[in-house]
Amino acid sequence: MVKPVNPALGRKSQYRRLRLADRKWRQKHHRIKIHRITAETVNHSRFELSPTTAFAAAALSAALLFLSFQLNNSSWPLAFIALIPLLAGAAACQSPRTAAGLGLLSGFFFFYIELYWITNSIAGFTSLPTLVVILVMALLALYMSLYVAIFCGLWHYLNHLNALESAYGKIISTLAGAAIWLLLEDFRGWFLGGFPWHPLGLTQIDNQFVSWLLPLGGVRLLSSLVIFGNLAIYLTGRALFRKRLRAVMLYCGLLLLPLIGLALIGSGSDNLPTLKSQITNPADPEPSRSRIAVIQPNILQKEKWRPENRDKIIEKMLLLSRKSLADNPDLIIWPEAALPLLLENEPEIFNRLHRFVTENQVSLMLGSPRLIRQENGSGKTLFNSIFLISPVQRLQIYNKVKLVPYGEFTPMASLFPFISKIVPGLSYSPGDKILNFNLKQLKIAPSVCFEGVFPAFSAGFFAAGANLLINLTNDAWFGDSPGPRQHLANIRLRALENNCTIVRCANTGISAIINPAGKIEQYLPLNQEGILSAEIACRHQPPTFFASHRFLPTYLAGLYLLLTSAFIFYRRSGYRT
């Protein structure tokens, strides 16, 4: 047993004597390391950050994150160092609660700056006072920053556990930190309907060294890889600063070398067809080719639903569609809620569209609200839907499943009825299933607006056999802001994850054709009327590994955290079985 020390000695002397006595006892009895020194005994070895230093660390990480999300060839490296100031600050805090507060501050800075454009929708289409609009935006940024706070608090706890204080223990906590971040991003994409906007892995979409992992594990895998890189660089730098060369060599060998290995594989992936075939499951060499025409009408949101503009909008859409016939398209695509009406409730308009399709032997895909009377006659259900009208096939309809929280439905409205008054929105109902549209050789995954930012949900269409993703959206709500550009960037990930072509049709832009490598081949600029004609090649292929096992990263991260928890419990118990 460790003998008690003289309480008259200083705290540092007590700490040294306790550690020395403990080491001698372990050597004598050939037992594993037993940590009987409590966190309260060694709290003096940590220090509390001054408010200025804490603010600077939080702000610096937020600024680096903002720069890394600019998505150009020079921005992606910043993501691997962006969180290091925050990690250093969190490690210096005295408690997990303080570290979580630092993460909350940094996350709030980042998300408020990155998502400020949402105020355009609230201020432009509601009568809320400016102060209330600012408050709503602050609440959204605060909610998003909660996940950063939870990560910082949990990582602080793991980093200061006696059971993980060795160099090997730090490696375990580094992997645990990456797993925690992955699970937090997954939870953010589910809770209250989900808002998976701007996952950390998005910063690597133009990084050829690691983007090849997207069809293997999706964007969540890249997010955890970026966190792993930040933690590995931080731990290596800290050990180097403290001149712990053995720990530096261990971290370089077990943490940094795997990252370098992945980068080397990625840099030569074009010369590794066997590896790429195992990941993306390439299809037959002869793809089916179809011509499509994307209509971008550029109708302002304030003008769209005015009764006096109804006939003008219908004529404009048909006029642009007739112009597109010059390129002999197989499919004409209109954006989300293309017409200011309920299409199924307007038989005259529907018949007019059907005549256009039949006379020109072209299919038409468009978005429209859909109102269905319930079977018991007690009420009506409103859906945000996509219609595919074909000259030779029956009408195909898809009802949007993933609705926009506080835009198309109000989470927790029954518990907090005042929320729907602050942020008014329509009461849409979600569809009950996903389905693919069949059109000649195409098997189309229909996607409405916000649905394109959900990785596992979108992959479900390709697991069911889709070979083309068509996303219809109306970003006119966001005006001339970063919102439409961010929306386009988020949906580019789906092309890489599913090895597919994406056609995006937006009311005011940005409409685009995205190839399976995630590159934008053609696009129409924001706030510009136009027609985008293109020939697309779609292969009949098995789904990628991610599409077939889209929940595997989540399961593996959860399993690793369970095993880490069991290991910590075992080490803290002080016994070996």
Outline where 127-166 has alpha helix (H).
130-159
Catalytic residues: 336, 400, 449
Torsion sign across C-alpha atoms 64, 69, 74, 79? positive
CA angle 266, 268, 269 (to 5 degrees): 60
Helix (H, G, I), strand (E, B) or coil at 19: helix
- Please tell me the distance from the alpha carbon of residue 512 to that of residue 327, in angstroms, as a whole number: 17
- Please tell me the distance from the alpha carbon of residue 297 to that of residue 284, in angstroms, as a whole number: 36
- Please tell me the distance from the alpha carbon of residue 331 to that of residue 387, in angstroms, as a whole number: 12
- Report DSSP letters for 426-481, one per residue: ------S----EEETTEEEEEEEGGGGG-HHHHHHHHHTT--EEEEEE-GGGG-SS
- Please tell me the distance from the alpha carbon of residue 572 to that of residue 577, in angstroms, as a whole number: 13
What are the angstrom distances between the C-alpha of 42 and each of 35, 39, 95, 169, 201? 12, 5, 12, 18, 37
Torsion sign across C-alpha atoms 160, 165, 171, 175? negative
Residue 262, exposed/middle/buried by CB under 10 A (0-12, 13-18, 19+)? Answer: middle
Q: Quick one: how far is CA 178 from the chain centroid?
A: 15
What are the backbone dihedrals phi and psi of residue 528, each rounded to the nearest 5 degrees, phi first? -140, 130
What are residue 397's DSSP bridge partners? 387
39, two tokens: 């966190």
- Please tell me the distance from the alpha carbon of residue 322 to that of residue 315, in angstroms, as a whole number: 10
Block residue for tokens 């008259």: 8
Torsion sign across C-alpha atoms 111, 116, 121, 126? positive
Does residue 237 come out as left (phi exceeding 0), alpha (psi in the -120 to 50 range) or beta? alpha
- Please tell me the distance from the alpha carbon of residue 364 to that of residue 333, in angstroms, as a whole number: 6
What are residue 371's DSSP bridge partners? 382
471, 497 contact by CB (below 8 A)? no
Kindly list the strands in the beta sheet with 530-538, ordered across the sheet, starting from the edge strand earlier in the chain. 396-399, 380-389, 363-373, 331-333, 288-296, 530-538
